Amino acid sequence: MIDMHCHILPGVDDGSPDMQESLAMAKKAVEAGITHLFATPHHLNERYVNVKNDIIDLLVEFNECLQQENIPLTVHPGQELRIHRELFVSLERGEVLTLDNNGKYLLLELPSGHVPTYTQELIYELLLKGITPIIVHPERNKELIKNHNLLFNLVQEGALTQLTSGSIIGLFGKNVKSFSKKILEHNLAHFIATDAHNVGSRGFSLQEAYETITKIYGIERTFYFKENVEQLIRGQSPAIVKPVQFKKKILGIF
């Protein structure tokens, strides 16, 4: 399996603190059936700064360590970029790292409490530049939990989304699990990833999430998600199913 979002690089964010833990995470990933993953350190989320070249340098070093340790895992470059008004300045400065550094897909993180007013405009501008933003863990955003159609609007506009495996299996609580289910039912998810941070509670629960999806929606749905992330590794476009709008209930409350 392929995991497109995790914090495995050592000492750069709230994921792995050092190389020893990174290698332990890599072993756990392999045990969990993962062969390839994208290392996606936080960038500009109020605490961490990880620009493109720094990530790539560290990634080369990490892949060498994996080879020395005979751990059969291939790590690709990526970045989890917090949305900010000056995103295009960061792009011009060469600080932004798209998945596999191919200029096509970008992991975009919203603040956990709200969706900034300029989000739609920024997505539009990114798409114009040929970069498709993949909104990570929308199921954990408090404003989207209240206003589901805001997510529909972003997907309708052309953004893609990635659900976190732990959300699907209930590790983030009932509300997040329930919203994840609604996102799946309304065709508003395109990828599943672990967003792993450690070898403990935030680990590699990808297989468990796929099993849950298979049980509820059938094996074809799991194939859909697996195929989409494989397309990313190939540098090709994932399949996009038509998003379904949420019906408004009385008084506009979902």
Give whichever of 39 and 115 is closer to Fe ion, judged by the CB atom: 39
| Nearest CB to Fe ion, comparing residues 3 and 80 | 80
Nearest approach, Cβ of residue 140 and Fe ion (Å)? 10
How is 157-213 classified by DSSP, letter by letter?
A: HT-EEEEEHHHHTTTT-HHHHHHHHHHHHTT---EEE--B-SSSTTS--HHHHHHHH
In the complex, the smallest distance separating the C-beta of residue 109 from Fe ion, rounded to whole angstroms, is: 7
CB of 99 to Fe ion, least distance (A): 13
Smaller CB separation from Fe ion, 186 or 202: 202
Q: Which is nearer to Fe ion, 80 or 95 (CB)?
A: 80
- Sort 228 into a burial class: Cβ within 10 Å, 0-12 / 13-18 / 19+: buried
CB of 130 to Fe ion, least distance (A): 24
Task: List residues near Fe ion by CB under 5 A.
Answer: 80, 195
Shorter beta-carbon distance to Fe ion: residue 119 or 194: 194
Segments in the chain forming alpha helices (H) = 19-31, 52-68, 87-92, 119-128, 142-146, 148-157, 165-168, 174-185, 206-217, 219-234
Residue 13: name the closest of 38, 56, 45 by CA.
45
Shortest CB 162 distance to Fe ion, Å: 10
Q: Which residue is nearest to Fe ion (CB)?
A: 195
Strands of the sheet with 80-82, listed across from one edge: 42-43, 80-82, 105-109, 132-136, 160-164, 191-193
